[in-house]
Amino acid sequence: MRQRNYSPADNLLIGIDQALRTLFGRPQVTERSNPAQTIPESEMNDQERDETARLMRINHTGEVCAQALYQGQALTAKLPDVRESMERAAQEENDHLAWCEKRLLELDNRKSLLNPFWYGGSFLMGAAAGLAGDKWSLGFVAETEHQVEAHLNNHLNRLPPQDEKSRAILEQMKEDEIHHATVALEAGGAELPEPIKQAMKFTSKLMTKSVWYL
């Protein structure tokens, strides 16, 4: 099947549609089902529910950032196969976005009020990485996913032991992040300089602290 070539105006409209879906609508997910779908709700006290909800809100905002990063990189990626890889990864991250949002609703909580701010900043970072060249863009993906994996491990340790629904979601997300990092490195991703890695960690901590409250 011949791949359609989009004009710059088409790509702009597609990007706007993706941003609106990510922030305010229903993202386009894959064929996969929610890993927590068949797991019964567990008994948690108010403190446990509140902490779990805050953790899931942070994870939801993290997926908003992931969407923006991938969309920004796909916009500026130079090689078609790299662009397609970014778009597929973004679609799989949409699964995470939908799963986290559903879990938040089940916990009677809300998404972060700061999502538009974090989306905009992450989109610019992704676009800049794409402009730097595909090997750096892919390296940025790999490092992002490695940091997200560590972040998910921390959250898995903090979840109430009985909350199997949230745990199932985070475990599947972790598996996906590891896969995305591996794919990016195998496609030619370069290891990022240490100052960039540290800057990414600082930004991640800032996001985590702010979204915990807002």
- pLDDT-derived band at 3 (thresholds 50, 70, 90) equals very low
Residue 4 confidence (pLDDT) above 60: no
Q: Taking each helix axis as running N to C, give the angle between helix 134-158 and helix 46-76, from 0 to 180 degrees, rounded to the nearest 10.
A: 170
Over the stretch 59-101, which tens digit does the pLDDT of each residue have? 999 888 888 887 787 777 666 666 666 666 677 778 888 899 9
Is position 11 within any domain? no
Q: What is the pLDDT of residue 87?
A: 67
User: Contact, 188 vs 135, CB < 8 A?
Assistant: yes
165 domain residue, yes or no = yes
Residues of the domain holding 73: 44-213
Indicate the pTM of the whole model. Answer: 0.84
Tell me the per-residue pLDDT of 119-163, one tens digit each, with 9 for 90 and over.
Answer: 888 888 888 877 877 788 888 888 888 888 888 999 999 999 999
Structure tokens at 21: 């879906």
| CATH number for 207 | 1.20.1260.10
DSSP for residue 44: -
Binding site: which residues?
63, 93, 96, 145, 177, 180
> Per the domain annotation, does 27 fall within a domain?
no
Does some domain include residue 14? no
Structure tokens at 113: 């009020």
Q: Which residues are annotated as a binding site for Fe cation?
A: 63, 93, 96, 145, 177, 180
Residue 1 pLDDT > 70, yes or no? no
Q: What residues have CB less than 8 Å from 199, skipping those under 6 apart?
A: none
- Note whether residue 137 is domain-resident: yes
Q: What is the pLDDT of residue 81?
A: 65
Q: Which two tokens stand for residue 181?
A: 């990092």
Q: How confident is the model at residue 109 (pLDDT cuts 50, 70, 90)?
A: very high
- Count of domains in the chain? 1
